[in-house]
Amino acid sequence: MGRARLARLHGIATCYEPSPGTILHIGDDTVVAVLAALGVDASTPDAVRAALAAYEDEAGRSLLPGTVVARPGRPPDLSGLPEGTVLRVAHEDGPATDTGPQDPAASGPPALPPDLPPGVHTLHAHSPDGRTARARLIVAPDRVPVPPGRSHGFMVQLYSLLSRRSWGMGDLGDLADLAAWSGRTLGAGFVQLNPLHAAVPGPPTDPSPYRPSSRRFPDPVHLRIAHIPEYAQLSGTARTRADELAARADALREDVLERGALIDRDAVWALKREALELVCAVPLSPGRHATYCDFLAEQGAPLEDHATWCAIAERHGPDWHAWPDRLRDPRSAATARLRARLLDRIDFHCRLAWLTDQQLAAAQRAARDAGMDIGLVHDLAVGVHPAGADTWAQQDAFAAGMSIGAPPDAFNARGQDWGLPPWRPDALAAAGYAPYRDLLRGLLRHAGALRIDHVMGLFRLWWVPQGRPPTEGAYVRYDGEAMLSLLALEAHRAGAAVIGEDLGTVEPGVRTALAERGVLGTSVLWFERDYRDGAAADEAAGDAAGDAEARILAPEEWRESCLATVTTHDLPTTAARLAGEDVALRERLGLLAGPPERERSRARNELAEWLRELTLRGLLPEGPGDEEAAVRAVHRFLLRTPARLVGVWLPDAVGDLRPQNLPGTWDEYPNWRLPIAGPDGRPQTLEELAASPRLHALMRELSNGQR
């Protein structure tokens, strides 16, 4: 009982409900391991008693928690403060507000000053018994901004979008071009991207954009080299070498587009890194130098840490756990001395972050200038690589020896381990959520909206102790009110909407909480069924329980507050699903959950059901047997829903049969390395996409439907 109570006090669930009515209990070994990752010893009964006593003692002595949250109509609970406590709020922009002496006739704890401006302030408390305390005070708006109206746009993995100007993979120049063209010509309102976070360098580099080194800074591999002003100023041997690199990049691009090669991120980066070395040797003009200095001052210590990690990784490899002991601590004297010796390399990596930031800003300007009401929708991955820059620079914020994942469910009886260390909720609260705030602020700099992968992680995450299977994990609770309030604050400051990826197992009440704060959900056509016979559609959406009897939700039953789409980067393309190629691919790779014929029959039945639904609703006037018409029909279905945003998976627009990612595979399938292709498998350049009759026919449906 004592260990269970200790776990609850630290936000660790000792049981969970994988399906309604089924409760599974967490083993003691797991609870002990998770508590240890939070700095709590629960290995013996004596240790548990000592930990409980220490917790209660700390709670008794503390006037304030590490972070306090307030929003309109919901003041923080300060009932634990003794009568007569004086509060003082130091605003983030300088001035201070004092509650002043309490009215002698009043009783109870003091209240915060009224009409505090939104921001992250500092709350000071002084009690009559002489105790003092300080906490971060988050004052947030109630809701995130919502898109100004109904809108449609493309969803794309940027690396897969090659133009005739790309260096072997899609880049920020291609992104700006896609946004300008689709906004002006097709009336698109947004372009949703994969995470552009900085990767852990190889070779080989993990190609997944969802296992980054840092979520705080973008990866310079996305730079369009020719768009850097200093590139045009190269001369002499530097110009000759740059031209040679550009010629090699042309060959790399042609290998992908014409000769069936996979996208090779490491080969692209090798060429771009050498070109950037040449470019960064060119002195900045006075104006650009001043702009760069402003960027350095604005980004501060987080950028210096990131660039330092990059510089040390060049010497000692990309896994900081394997560095010399004295360098594993970013604040050690040895690290400080090495920083001084590596100033040129640190400046180089800072410069790359600045150049990438500039091109991201240019892409968002291109989108807004093209009439997009949202523009770029950036993607926040759920975690970071355990060996990367963020875990090195913010070691206290991450739970050592833990990985996030998912418990067993109807689709995966073994559960999932994503190999990403979780943030410690106690460390976040003690730091006033500074790592999370900095992360949001950086991602929202040049965004009209932000997509949050596995948005349920703002409330709880499944922690798996290192060396154990995902079945032996436990849910750990986060302060959802604080996380959502900071999200609302930073989104409000940026004027950006927020989309939560809320697919899969979603804890009861989470979708309601997100909707109350204005966070849009994600609704995928194939999952929108009434799985629980009369349950509210907003709680059922995305809960793919695999129940073949669940009826398809009518368009009018869909929620309004969502991004509606037919498929995603983790699912088969629509053309593949219509052709049965998704089942055939999984059969070839041995990934089917049951006998092949049973899986094929199940897929055929589901498809037949959908085609009947589309036909009955008059959405497939072309009749069955026309794959391109069926792709248009499912998007017509989306337009019948009240969804505020409608997303078109760009490969769907040209009939691509190949998924960008096949969950459950590693080397068996070329995840994250495929260019967008047509039905014949031939890669399609951005120029060809812009001229595609099939794409234009589909997008006319979207434009006409919006009107």
pLDDT digits (tens, 9 = 90+) for 30-77: 999 999 999 999 999 999 999 999 999 988 888 999 899 999 888 898
Question: 């992968």: which residue's tokens?
Answer: 453
Confidence at residue 22, expressed as pLDDT on a 0 to 100 scale: 85
321-344 pLDDT, tens digit per residue, is: 999 999 999 999 999 999 999 999
Q: Does 537 score more than 90 pLDDT?
A: no
Report, as an integer, the average pLDDT of 361-373.
98
| Mean of pLDDT values over 436-447 | 97
Average pLDDT (115-141) is: 93
146-201 pLDDT, tens per residue? 998 999 999 999 999 999 999 999 999 999 999 999 999 999 999 999 999 999 99
- Report d(CA 411, CA 18) in Å as an integer: 12
Whole-number average pLDDT of the chain: 93
The whole-number pLDDT of residue 664 equals: 85
- CA distances from residue 216 to 304, 434, 438 in whole angstroms, order as listed: 12, 12, 7
Whether residue 96 is predicted with pLDDT greater than 80 in this model: the reply is: no
Output the pLDDT for position 173.
98
Contacts 24+ apart (CB under 8 A), 207-211: 207/263, 207/265, 207/671, 207/672, 207/673, 208/661, 208/671, 208/672, 209/157, 209/159, 209/379, 209/381, 209/672, 210/381, 210/382, 210/453, 211/381, 211/383, 211/384, 211/385, 211/418, 211/419, 211/420
Q: List the beta bridge partners of residue 401.
A: none
The share of the chain scoring above pLDDT 70, in percent, equals 95
Q: Is the pLDDT of residue 542 over 50?
A: no
CA distances in angstroms from 70 to 65, 81, 93, 114, 120, listed in the order given: 13, 16, 18, 11, 10
Confidence of residue 707 (pLDDT cuts 50, 70, 90): low
Over 80: is that where the pLDDT of 639 sits? yes
- pLDDT, average across residues 295-323: 97
**Which residues are CB-neighbours of 389 under 8 A, at least 6 positions away?**
198, 213, 214, 305, 306, 309, 310
Q: What pLDDT, on a 0 to 100 scale, did the predictor assign at position 317?
A: 97
**Six-digit token string for 204:** 């080989």
Q: What is the pLDDT of residue 100?
A: 53
Has residue 536 got a pLDDT over 50?
Answer: no
Task: Give the separation between CA 388 and CA 407, rounded to whole angstroms.
Answer: 25
Question: Tell me, what DSSP letter sits at residue 371?
Answer: T
When pLDDT is averaged across residues 278-283 and rounded to a whole number, the result is: 98
How far does CA 96 lie from the centroid of its chain?
Answer: 35
The mean pLDDT value for 81-96 works out to 87
Tell whether the model's pLDDT for residue 103 goes beyond 60: no
pLDDT of residue 505: 83
Instruction: Determine the Cα–Cα distance for residues 305 and 325; give it in Å rounded to an integer.
Output: 17
Residue 534's pLDDT band (boundaries 50, 70, 90)? very low
pLDDT of residue 540: 39
- What mean pLDDT do residues 280-304 have? 98
Which residue in the block uniquely carries the two structure tokens 């000692």?
A: 316
Q: Give the number of C-alpha atoms closer than 13 A to the C-alpha of residue 552, restricted to the C-beta side.
A: 20
Does the structure show a pLDDT above 60 at 547?
no
Percentage above 90 pLDDT, the chain: 84
User: What pLDDT is recorded for position 424?
Assistant: 98
Whether 647 shows a pLDDT value over 70: the answer reads yes
Per residue in 11-24, pLDDT tens? 999 999 887 788 99
Residue 504's pLDDT is what? 84
Q: Which of 19-28, 253-262, 396-405 has the lowest mean pLDDT?
A: 19-28
For residue 636, the SS3 value is helix
Quote the pLDDT of residue 541. 39
> Rounded to an integer, what distance in angstroms lies between the CA atom of residue 520 and that of residue 147?
10
Over 80: is that where the pLDDT of 546 sits? no
The reply to whether omega before 203 is within 30° of 0 (cis) is: yes
